[in-house]
Amino acid sequence: MSTGTTRSFPCQGCGSVVSYAPGTQEMICGHCGRRQPIAGIGGSVDEWPFESLPTLPRKPVGQLTAYTYVCQRCAAASHSNETATVCPFCASPLVLAPEATGQIMPEAVMPFRIDHHGVRTALRKWARSRWFAPTSLKRVSDVATITGTYVPHWTFDAHTSSVYTGFRGVYRHVGSGKNKRTHVQWTPAQGSFDHSFDDVLVVGVRASTLPVNHLLKLHHGDAHWPLRSAVPYQPEYLAGYHALRYDIEPETAFNAAAQGVMSQDITEACKRQIGGGLQKISHLSTRYNTLTFKLVLLPVWVATYLHGGEHWPVLINGQTGHVEGDQPYSPLKLILAMLLTLAVIAAIVFLIVLVA
């Protein structure tokens, strides 16, 4: 077991405990309702040179053990693999000092903006949009267990320089009338270009910890994370919530994920540079002039509901309220939909035959 310093957050009014209030810069007491501002807000979110990783004091992920928490309210000892949790005996917030985790310290945190009420509203809206789900799913917001969890992610920035050789293909029309045909004229192309990347995001936990397939969907489209709203890390934002520790090292995150995203973008940029209707790349080499990283904690509401004796996970973006999750299907609704489809097809065929 690893023992570290546990932060406590007493209410300045009644001495009870306070938790972070989503969407604010305050903490609120669950006993007397007193609000108190989070002190020391400000500063900038920094990136760290990738080449500095070997010099950072940290333990390999595989050598980490459970942390020992000692609640400063009830003095109970408990164990957890999380870097923030709540006391299982008195429900007081427990946040481990970042330097005591044995891991790279988070540089930034994106605080929760959606509170419990907003989460249940989002779940009800999501349930209503599941056309083929059982009617009972509409009660998901009432029966689901919901946990606010900060999930570690790595972000990578880079400035790259690339050189390439290849061919540019241009469509040419020759002949006329019935003899007109199109062929591609290829001409050699070569050159160089620079390309920059900002906040290429990689999940820092494995699928055994959370349903990463749903987590990845929170990265795109309308669900995407507004990373510009991340603020310098302060433990007060974690008070009353859970925070996972990363189990994917930054080197692995870059080599297995981020570099692939960058390579794909660089290839597309190369094709645009070559121009023409078609492109062939014979050689493309890239130099990373600067590569930086940081660890950021992103807010996710983790909901689980029981249906048909099976647990179904749902994830809610703690900033945007976007929902991604699994759902059961109603056999009756699926059969009715199939019958309706067959009826429509039959009606169309009947009209075609009638007109003919």
Kindly indicate the confidence band of residue 356, based on its pLDDT and cuts at 50, 70 and 90: low
Q: Quote the domain boundaries for residue 321.
A: 2-158+195-263+291-325
Query: Do 18 and 10 contact (CB within 8 A), yes or no?
Result: yes
Dihedral over alpha carbons 47, 51, 54, 59 (to 10 degrees): 30
Q: Which helix (H) or strand (E) holds 245?
A: none
Assess if residue 181 is contained within a domain.
no
pTM exceeds 0.75, yes or no? yes
Give the residue-averaged pLDDT of 150-173.
95
Per-residue pLDDT tens over the stretch 87-129: 888 888 999 888 888 899 999 999 999 998 898 888 888 877 7
The three-class DSSP label of residue 330 is coil
Dihedral over alpha carbons 258, 264, 269, 271 (to 10 degrees): 170
Assess if residue 202 is contained within a domain.
yes
Overall domain count for the chain: 1
pLDDT of residue 229: 86
Assess if residue 318 is contained within a domain.
yes
The CA distances from residue 176 to 169, 180, 181, 183, 185, in Å, are 21, 4, 8, 13, 18
pLDDT of residue 337: 64
Give the residue-averaged pLDDT of 68-92.
88
Assess if residue 125 is contained within a domain.
yes
Pairing of strands 84-86, 145-174: unpaired
Per-residue pLDDT tens over the stretch 202-223: 999 987 778 888 888 887 655 5
Give the residue-averaged pLDDT of 335-351.
74
Assess if residue 346 is contained within a domain.
no
pLDDT of residue 4: 58
